[in-house]
Structure 1
């Protein structure tokens, strides 16, 4: 596999762009509404979310690049891309639903769907390129934790 720097950068830029849009939605409420709602004792400090998500978006972009390098050998490449884009859209949507719209219950339902699609995406990526699938493990773990956090915030509010 020959390294393609432009494709590598584009794949990471796509995920970081999604993260930036989600960050904007989050920023609309993190210092106002989010500070006023009840949160569980295990809620991480606000400063932790940015570095974690940035790291995850980079890993997701690398995974996408690894799959992209095998695109000519994948008979179901359009379906793979569709699942990948759906999980990115759901990822972005959660930030808007939770932080911008303040719909905690709807965000909970949406994050469960997101987690299911992430696992499907990871399995599809794994079948294409082992490391692409494995790079999704931190993402799955973090969104699982975020789901538990979302659930507890829903219960507390």
Structure 2
């Protein structure tokens, strides 16, 4: 029972937090008028991709919590904080350079999670691989937007 409650908590933090951030930090007129690189995805793709990723993030966090892997759990908490910090910084504050610094920190914390979880929990590791790929892409996109609109 304790494990099931913990899973619900991880899902609530990840999905609920992501949904909340998505409502307060939306692309606006500023974002729509930015010059964007050729590889910028259509706006509609972000909600479904993040929904899937947040479920995977929650499952990975729950698994490392269950296993008592404190180092991986610490990396999970850090990446979650950075994940929630980036959208308001980018979309609300229009701070593309600080947002790039945050997203690179986010990517580093994801890679640390992968290193700390990989040997002990392959499931948690593989849950984070698509997330690492997406955040790598998002960091490249953030850097390109900064360069094009600097």
Whether TM-score is above 0.5 comes out as: yes
Match of 1:120 in 2: 112
* Contact kept? 2:11, 2:55, Cα under 8 Å: yes
Q: Cα RMSD (Å) of the superposition?
A: 1.7
In the TM superposition, what is the alpha-carbon distance from 1:21 to its structure 2 partner?
2.9
Identify which of 64, 68, 76 aligns with 2:61. 64
Aligned residues: 149
Match of 2:40 in 1: 43
Tell whether 2:137 aligns with 1:145.
yes
Match of 2:13 in 1: 14
* Contact kept? 2:36, 2:145, Cα under 8 Å: yes
CA distance in 2, matches of 1:53, 1:20: 9
* Contact kept? 2:72, 2:113, Cα under 8 Å: yes
* Contact kept? 1:18, 1:88, Cα under 8 Å: no
TM-score, length-scaled by structure 1? 0.87
CA distance in 2, matches of 1:124, 1:25: 32
Gaps of 5+ in 2: none
In the TM superposition, what is the alpha-carbon distance from 1:17 to its structure 2 partner?
2.1
In the TM superposition, what is the alpha-carbon distance from 1:130 to its structure 2 partner?
1.4
Moved over 3 A (4+): none
Higher deviation after alignment, 51-60 or 80-89: 80-89
CA distance in 2, matches of 1:33, 1:93: 19
DSSP 3-state at the match of 1:69? helix
